[in-house]
Each structure stands twice: as C-alpha cells, then as structure tokens.
Structure 1
C-alpha cells in the first residue's frame, strides 16, 4: 500500500509498497478515505522531530475516517464495510490503510462525508475539555483553531449562558460567530490585550497551548473558577505559573486528556451521538482537501503558523495560516 512516514525533522517520505497491517485481538483495520492534518500534534511532530522527545512517540496522521476493512478476534462493535472515524490510531492515517484499537473507533453516519468525518477525532477532546461547564456558565475560549471552535460548540451545547471567543485572526473569529460565540475579541497575543477580554468568567479554556495563553486564562476566571488545558504544549513543554495567584483564587484545573479506556469510550459515545445531528458545523471547519501525494504541500500550507514557534521568540508569522482550519488528505 501507499503510506507516508515521518522519517526526520521536516522529512516525510512516501512508500509505495508498505505492508498492510493485520488486525490483532480487539483491533480494527480501516481503509482510509480521509485523514485530516492535526494543527498542533502533526505539525509539532513534523517541525520538532529529534528536538522534542515526545515528537517521535506520537502517531503522525491520527485523524481518520474510512471503512472497516477487517477486524481482529474479539471485536464486536464494528464490522467490515462499516463507515467509521478513528480517535488515536495505532498506525498513520496518511496511508491507504490504518490500524486502530476497537475502543478508538466510532460509527460515522452516512450523511457525513469522510473528509468532514475525520474531524470528529477532535470531538472527544472537546467533550472532555468542557466536562466542567455547567448550565448558565460564562465561558471564554482562547484560541479559535479547529479544537477551540469544537470546544466552543460543546460549551454551547452544555448550556453556557455566554460564550466569548478570543483569537489573533479576524477570519477565524467570523467562524466563531457561526458556531455560537456571543462575543469575539481579536488580540495580538500580548498580555495586556488578553486581559482586556474581561474577567469573572466561570470557565476559561486555553485552546492554544502557550505559557501566555494559559496564564491569561488564570486571570480571566473568577474566584474558584475553572481553567482548562486543551491546547497541547508541544512547543513550550515547560510552563511557569504563579502558584500564589492560583492559591489566592482557589482555582480548579483539568485537561482534555483521556487517561482511561472508560473515559475514551464515554467520549466516543457522545461523539457518535452528536455526529448524527447538525450541531457540530463540520462543513465550516473543513477548508481544504489534498490528495495523498500532495501531503507535503498541505504541510507547507499549515506550517505558516505563529503557534509553531516558542512563546516570546521571533517568528516569521504573526498568526495562523491564512483562511485555513482543517485540511483533509484523501488517499
């Protein structure tokens, strides 16, 4: 089969005769119909392979939708021919086939195109990130990339009374309004502008993953408020926080991680249910589609991003890629 592999820093290689994986116990082989580029993990792995230890450990190309090709012993939830999306596969989705654990595979409705269905990989993250949002909460989401927009949508579905979206890019903030934001704030990334968004939010979600955005969320929430770490700190892996402020405000904190298979299965069930509705606005999130052979072009387009450079260091870009959210790769 044809498959791209991350071989080194900014080095991806296409193989034409890679072996097709064989599913073992409780594993599923998926014929990939689309794999979207992860705006944080895939790009961080691509640019920091060999410079950050974890960038050689994650799965490059993990947002997949396709058809079940075969199942291993013990699989009961899906069957060959079924349309599915995959959350955290065992092998890359930049290929004609990918392997996944059964617990990571969700049913994809017929009415959802594969290119949009691959985006559903983000939904369990947004489900976990917003699990502390209560009916009537005032919520701020800092960062309006795909995962931030998904979290915004989930917070709305959980009954937030007011949603504030924050980003560097006015085009992305227009998307935020489509997905339910009551207020949008364009900032330049400086602490002063971030704090000018307001205060006394019940929940502040950091959907960027930089020291600056995390510490801004600490300032944005009220006493005993909730700070959520949704953005992945792949670039700035060590973040300094003022623990006196955290203690004085009595803040709560959680991440979007799925530490147990039970939590993974629960979030996947929610994702399956929501996928059958029109509540996720997936067409808004998908902005580009490339053939598998053109993955290098897609990576080049997505790499025009300020988020790929450490906080506070000079960068050739002042924001995200222009008018770009999710990019789908189609074998």
Structure 2
C-alpha cells in the first residue's frame, strides 16, 4: 500500500509498497478514505521533530475516516464494511490502510462524507474538554482554528448562554458567528489586548496552546471560574503562571486529555449520538475547506505551515495569522 511516514524534521517519505497492518485482539483495520491534517499536532511534529522529544512519539496523521476491512478477536462494535471515524489510530492515516483500537472507533452514518468524517476526530476531544460547562454559563474561547471551532459547537450544545470567540483572523471569526457565537473579537495576540476582553466569564478555553493564551484565560474568568487547556502546548511546553492569581481567584482547571479508556469510551459515545441526531447543528461542512490527494501531502503541509501558531510567543513569527481561508484539509488516498 501507499504510505507517508515522518522520518525527520520537515522530512516525510512516501513508501510505495508498505505492508498492510493486521489487526490484533480488540483492533480494527480501516481502509482510509480521508485523513485530515491536524493543524496543531501534525504540523508541530513535522516542524519540531528532533527539537521536542514528544514530537517523535505521537501519531503523524491521526484524523481518519474510512471503512472497516478486518477486525481482531473480541471486536463487537463494528464489523467489516462499517463506515467509521477514528480518534487517534495506532498507525498513520496518511496511508491506504490504518490500524486502530476498537475503543477509538466511532460509527459514521451514511449521510456524512468521509472528508467531513475525518474531522470528527476532534468531536470526542471537544466533548471531553467542555465537560465542565454548565447550563447558562458565559464562555470565552481563545482561538478559532478547527479545535476552537469544535469547542464552540460543544459549548452551545451544553447550554452555554453566551459564547465569545476570539481569534487573529476575521475570516475564521465569520465562521464562528455562523456557528452561533454571540460575539466575536479579532485580536493581534498581545497579552494586553486579550486582557481588555473582560474578566467575568464562567469558563475560558485556551484553544491555541501558548503561554500568552493560557494566562489570558486565567485573567478572563471570574472567581472560582474554570480554565480549560484544549490547545496543545507542543512548542512552548513550559508555561509560567502566577500562582497567587490562581489562588486568589480559586480557579478550577482541567485539560482535554482522556487519560483513561473509560473517559475515551464515554466521549466517543456522546460524539456518536451528536453525529446521528445533531448533525446539522455541528456544521462540519464549514470546517472542511480543502482536499488533496495522498501523493500531494507535501503540498498540503506546505499550505498549512504558513501559520503563526507554529512559532513560540518569544521570537517574531514570519506569519501574522493562520493560512488564509483555511481550516481543515482532507487527504484522500
């Protein structure tokens, strides 16, 4: 089969005759019909391989949708022929086939195109990340890339009374408004500018993952408010926070990580129900902006790499914002 592998910093190689994986117990083999490029992890792994230890450990190409072709012993939720989306596979989705644990697989209804189905990898992540939002909450979301957009949708589904979306890019904020954001704010990204948004939110979600955006969330929430770390700190892995402020405010905090299989299963079950019964509300089609063939993966990576998010807070970034008119890019074998 065809397969792309990340083998070094900014170095991906296409293998023409890679072996097709075989599913073991509680594993499934998926014929990949679409693999979305992760705007954060995949790009961080590509640009920081060898510079950050964890950038050689994650799965490069992990947002998959396709059709189950084989299952291992003990698999009961899906069977060969099932349409599925995958929450982090065991092998790269930049290939004709990918291996995944059964617990990481969600059923994909017939009405969902595969190019949109691969984006659903973000849905159980956002379900779990927004678990602390309560009916009537005022929610601020910093960052309206794909994961921030999904968090916006989940905040609305959970009954937030007011959702404020913040981003560098006015085009993305237009999509946030269409998805139901009550207010949108374009910023340049400075700490002082973010502080001007106010400090009375019940929940503030960092959907970017930099020291500046995390500390901005601390400032935005009320006393005993909730700060959610949804953006991955792949580049700035060490963040300095003012613990006196945290203590004075009595802040609550949680991340988007699903450390236990029970949490993964619960989030996936909710995601499946939302896809089945609330598909129109999710507006996933708004997130899918481009499609590339598998052999054109380097071109897709190049397009997405024109992003300010790839550069730490300190040095001046060569780009002022995200790639123009771009959210999710689907790679189709």
Whether these two folds match at TM > 0.5 is yes
Runs of 4+ in 1 over 4 A off after TM superposition: none
Partner of 1:310: 312
Partner of 2:204: 204
Cα distance in 2, alignment partners of residues 203 and 314 from structure 1: 30
Partner of 1:18: 18
Q: CA deviation at 1:128?
A: 1.1
Partner of 2:49: 49
Q: Deviations over 1:218-266 (max 9, x none)?
A: 0000000000000000000000000000000000000001000010000
Q: CA deviation at 1:129?
A: 1.1
Partner of 1:159: 159
Q: CA deviation at 1:312?
A: 2.2
**Secondary structure class of the residue paired with 2:266:** helix
**Secondary structure class of the residue paired with 1:218:** helix
Q: CA deviation at 1:124?
A: 1.0
Cα distance in 1, alignment partners of residues 324 and 49 from structure 2: 25
Q: CA deviation at 1:197?
A: 1.4
Cα distance in 2, alignment partners of residues 311 and 296 from structure 1: 26
Partner of 1:289: 291
Partner of 1:253: 253
**Secondary structure class of the residue paired with 2:100:** strand
Partner of 1:221: 221
Of residues 304, 323, 326, the one that matches 1:324 is 326
Partner of 1:124: 124
Cα distance in 2, alignment partners of residues 274 and 92 from structure 1: 26
Cα distance in 1, alignment partners of residues 122 and 3 from structure 2: 23
Q: For 1:91-106, what aligned pairs fall within 5 Å after superposition?
A: 91-106=91-106
Cα distance in 2, alignment partners of residues 14 and 275 from structure 1: 33
Provide the alpha-carbon RMSD of the alignment: 0.5
Q: Deviations over 1:55-83 (max 9, x none)?
A: 00000000000000100011000000010
State TM-score, norm by structure 2. 0.99
Structure 1 residues without counterparts, runs of 5 or longer: none
Q: For 1:229-268, what aligned pairs fall within 5 Å after superposition?
A: 229-268=229-268
Partner of 1:36: 36
Structure 2 residues without counterparts, runs of 5 or longer: none
Deviation larger for 26-35 or 315-324: 315-324
Cα distance in 2, alignment partners of residues 25 and 114 from structure 1: 26
Deviation larger for 194-203 or 136-145: 194-203
**Secondary structure class of the residue paired with 2:17:** coil
> Paired residues, what number?
331
Partner of 1:185: 185
Partner of 1:134: 134
State TM-score, norm by structure 1. 0.99
Cα distance in 1, alignment partners of residues 266 and 298 from structure 2: 35
Q: Deviations over 1:170-218 (max 9, x none)?
A: 0000010011100000000011110111221000000000000000000
Cα distance in 2, alignment partners of residues 193 and 104 from structure 1: 39
Cα distance in 1, alignment partners of residues 117 and 189 from structure 2: 32
Cα distance in 2, alignment partners of residues 281 and 198 from structure 1: 29
Cα distance in 2, alignment partners of residues 176 and 16 from structure 1: 40
Cα distance in 1, alignment partners of residues 275 and 329 from structure 2: 19
**Secondary structure class of the residue paired with 2:64:** strand
**Secondary structure class of the residue paired with 1:296:** helix
Confirm or deny that 1:4 pairs with 2:4: yes
Cα distance in 1, alignment partners of residues 177 and 140 from structure 2: 13
Cα distance in 2, alignment partners of residues 197 and 205 from structure 1: 14
Cα distance in 2, alignment partners of residues 215 and 315 from structure 1: 20
